Amino acid sequence: MRSDRELVKGTVRLLALRLLAREPMYGYQMIQHLEDRSEGYFQLGEGALYPLLHDLENERYLRAEWRDQEGRPKRRYYHVTAKGRRELARRKEQWEGFTRAVDLVLEASHV
């Protein structure tokens, strides 16, 4: 199933923070993880990911560092800062409240 663009846009910051809270990743790796874990639902525009990451970096939710790789160019890894973790918790709570409310309405509509 293809994703709804507007829906994805609103949740992608939450997803990015969640992914990076588990382990530091580079951009391409994030796209692959998102796609794999969502069973192909989230297919982000590749060029759109980096402005988002830079935005989060500017807001100090993320920090980036270049890491050496043997025989390959350096990669820029992102990891979540303490401020980012607080933001993640806030967004997660917001999202859970939102989905719970949507579920309640949808379940009520079935009756």
Partner 1 sequence: MCEIEQYLDQVRAQLEVSFHRANEIIAEARCHLEARARDLEAKGMGREQAEAEAVRGFGNPQTVAAELRKANARHRDADVFRLVVGIGLAFGTTLSAIGCFVFLLMRAPSSIQAALYAHIIWFPAFALPGAVLAGMVAGRRYWWLAATPPLLFMALCWGFSLAAWAFVPYRDAGTQLDVALVWPLLSAAAFAVCGYLGARAGEARRLRYPIGVLCAVYALGIAVPAFAQVVRNLFDLVMAMAVAEGVSYILLIAAYRDKLVGPRVLIAGGAGMTALVAAMAVAVLAGTWGLDTLYGEGRTAFIGPLLVVVYLYLPAQLVWLGWKGRKVSEAAQAVRGRPNRGA
In the chain, the amino acid numbered 71 is G
37 vs 100 by CB, closer to partner 1: 37
Q: Which residues here bind partner 1, judged by CB under 8 A?
A: 26-28, 45-48, 50-52, 54-55, 58, 66, 71-76
Nearest of 26, 1, 41 to residue 12 by alpha carbon? 41
Q: DSSP label at 39?
A: T
Smaller CB separation from partner 1, 30 or 80: 30
Distance CA 49, CA 22 (A): 18
Shortest Å, Cβ 28 to partner 1: 5
Q: How far is the CB of 2 from partner 1 (least distance, A)?
A: 16
For the chain, how many residues are written? 111
